[in-house]
Amino acid sequence: MSHASPAPFRVPAARCLSGRIRVPGDKSISHRALMLSALAVGESRVEGLLEGEDVLATAAALRAMGAGIERMAEGCWTINGVGVSGLLQPAGALDMGNSGTSTRLLMGLVASHPITATFTGDASLSARPMERVITPLSRMGAEVTASPGGRLPLMLRGLCPAVPIEYELPVASAQVKSAVLLAGLNTPGVTRVIEPVPTRDHSERMLAGFGAEVLVEETSQGRVISITGEAELRPQQITVPGDPSSAAFWMVAATVVPGSDVVIENVGLNPTRAGLLTALRMMGADIAEVDTRTVGGEPVADLRVRHAALSGITVPHDLAPSMIDEYPVLFVAAAFAAGRTVARGADELRVKESDRIAAMRAALEANGVAVTEHEDGLSIDGTGGEAIPGGGTVQTHLDHRIAMSMTVAGLHARRPVTIDDVSPARTSYPNFFDQLSYLSGEAA
């Protein structure tokens, strides 16, 4: 999946945002729904699947390894699985595009199958560290030949049967946790992951939903997740809730653009993902949860967001894992708050689709916002609700969340904010700009 030609965008300032929208399906849950369905014998059906480029990369890779995957209607897909242990040798390299989640989770799946796969990706993905999954998967018996620095392109030869391990996560990463658990699915015995800091738990929830034997224990060491291998997964009907990481853009946009009143429908509110909501409320945001319910085993609500004055805060470090993807847009909220916001404790931001600390510092500074960079975050002095100066150009570095976060910043700017390339939004939020036009009253 090579990167298409860049699409620059000059953000039009919004008078106010109003209306109801439904954000696309959760990216993390969509990847996992395809992967586990591909390992169940028989037909699973997924509704609300995110049809972003990252998830399509997962679908293509699973097809290349033997799963039957078909799109029936928008967001509605059927998957005919091959069974745990049934993945086939792919004929060519697996192109992961921009997607770290596809890469790391699929490496886990391949690690305990008797197949060899080559993983490739775009410039952003090829700069990201893979050592964090190579280390535990090698301990399970996989052989990995990576590019210098433990990066893509890499070739992984799985071992079957693999060796069960107990692995304590050295970084708070749901991708590493999931890679080990997925490798454990086809490994005899019990594979165990210890996470000192809890991260998103979609893998554990969904593995249990598909019938795998998964045990989660809270201990003095942290959360211990054990999976009993050589599992048999039963096909499922899955409804994917809306992505809180996509809803995040509208939560901030409606808060900072005066006069706004927006309802975001069907937002997943799993506590391991809801940190931004907590942080924004601490800053003074007006966000009401309406019609709280359960969708696909995950808590969900509609969120009504009205414009509100924000005050700077020190973001509690323990919120970081539950809002790790939302820091770029939180930095934008901070740019409109009264006083200083200190958002630190998130050094993982350095190794996302871009170095999000450096990228957001440069993007905000170019648009007249006062920012101090720290190794593990940013401090930002906000306008107190006034428009930011704007007038600068944002380098997105192939990072969807930089593109969309700085678009939100540009909605309340004195001079236009220009984004060098908004095409990366297609990885996670293909209709972001259509929904923006609708909410700003510009829809045809």
Q: How many residues bind ligand S3P (CB under 6 A)?
A: 10
* Calculated CA dihedral for residues 97, 128, 27, 405, nearest 10 degrees: -100
DSSP 323: G
DSSP state at residue 157: E
Q: Catalytic: which of 26, 325, 399, 421?
A: 325
- Binding piece for ligand S3P, criterion CB under 6 A, among 14-22, 170-178, 256-264, 269-277: 170-178
Cα 191 to the center of its chain, rounded Å: 25
Nearer to ligand S3P, 243 or 421 (CB): 243
**Residue 44: both structure tokens together:** 């699973």
Which residue among 59, 107, 174, 402 contacts ligand S3P (CB under 6 A)? 174
What SS3 state is found at 219? Answer: strand
Q: What is the largest CA-CA distance in the chain?
A: 61
What is the pattern of x (binds ligand S3P, CB under 6 A) and - over residues 317-356?
A: -------xx----------------------x--------
Which range, of 5-13, 57-65, 159-167, 173-181, touches ligand S3P by CB under 6 A?
173-181
Q: Match 């009264």 to its residue by tokens.
A: 338
Of 103, 175, 191, 427, the one binding ligand S3P (CB under 6 A) is 175
CB of 64 to ligand S3P, least distance (A): 21
- Tell me the per-residue interface mask from 228 to 257 with ligand S3P, x by CB under 6 A, - otherwise: ------------------------------
Task: Based on the shown chain and the rule CB under 6 A, indicate whether residue 53 belongs to the binding site for ligand S3P.
Answer: no
Tokens (6 digits) for 91: 């004929």
* Nearest Cα to Cα of residue 18 among 304, 407, 309: 304
Catalytic, 325? Answer: yes
Q: Pick the closer one to ligand S3P by CB: 310 or 315.
A: 315
* CB 167 within 8 Å of CB 182: no
Residues 190-209 touching ligand S3P, rule: CB under 6 A, are 200
What's the closest the beta carbon of residue 292 comes to ligand S3P, in angstroms?
23
Asked if 173 interacts with ligand S3P (CB under 6 A), we say yes
Q: Is 125 in the site for ligand S3P (CB under 6 A)?
A: no
Q: Which is nearer to ligand S3P, 200 or 307 (CB)?
A: 200
Q: How far is the CB of 347 from ligand S3P (least distance, A)?
A: 11
Closer to ligand S3P by Cβ: residue 46 or 337: 46
Binding mask 78-117 for ligand S3P (x = CB under 6 A): -----------------------x----------------
Closest distance of CB 342 from ligand S3P, Å? 21
| Separation CA 418–CA 403 (nearest Å) | 10
Contact 165, 192 (CB under 8 A): yes
Residue from 28, 98, 354, 396 touching ligand S3P (CB under 6 A): that is 28
- DSSP letter assigned to residue 198: -
Q: Which stretch binds ligand S3P (CB under 6 A): 86-94, 149-157, 172-180, 209-217?
A: 172-180
Distance CA 158, CA 143 (A): 7
Instruction: Give the dihedral of Cα atoms 265, 271, 274, 278; nearest 10 deg.
Output: 120
Nearer to ligand S3P, 302 or 353 (CB): 353
User: Cα angle vertex 253, ends 74, 381, to 5°?
Assistant: 145
Using alpha carbons, select from 183, 230, 234 the residue that is nearest to residue 206: 234
CB of 348 vs ligand S3P, minimal distance in Å = 6
Name the residue among 384, 383, 343, 338 with its Cα closest to residue 361: 343
What Å distances lie between residue 22 and 53, 71, 253, 322, CA to CA?
19, 20, 15, 22
Closest approach of ligand S3P to the CB of residue 94, in Å: 17
* SS3 call for 250: helix
Contact 27, 54 (CB under 8 A): yes
Helix (H) or strand (E) holding 439: helix 432-439
Q: Report if residue 178 touches ligand S3P, rule: CB under 6 A.
A: yes
Nearer of residues 257 and 349 to ligand S3P, judged by Cβ:
349
Q: Are strands 298-306 and 286-295 parallel, antiparallel or unpaired?
A: antiparallel
Q: Which residues in this chain contact ligand S3P in the complex, by CB under 6 A? A: 28, 101, 173-175, 178, 200, 324-325, 348
Residues with a catalytic annotation lie at: 325
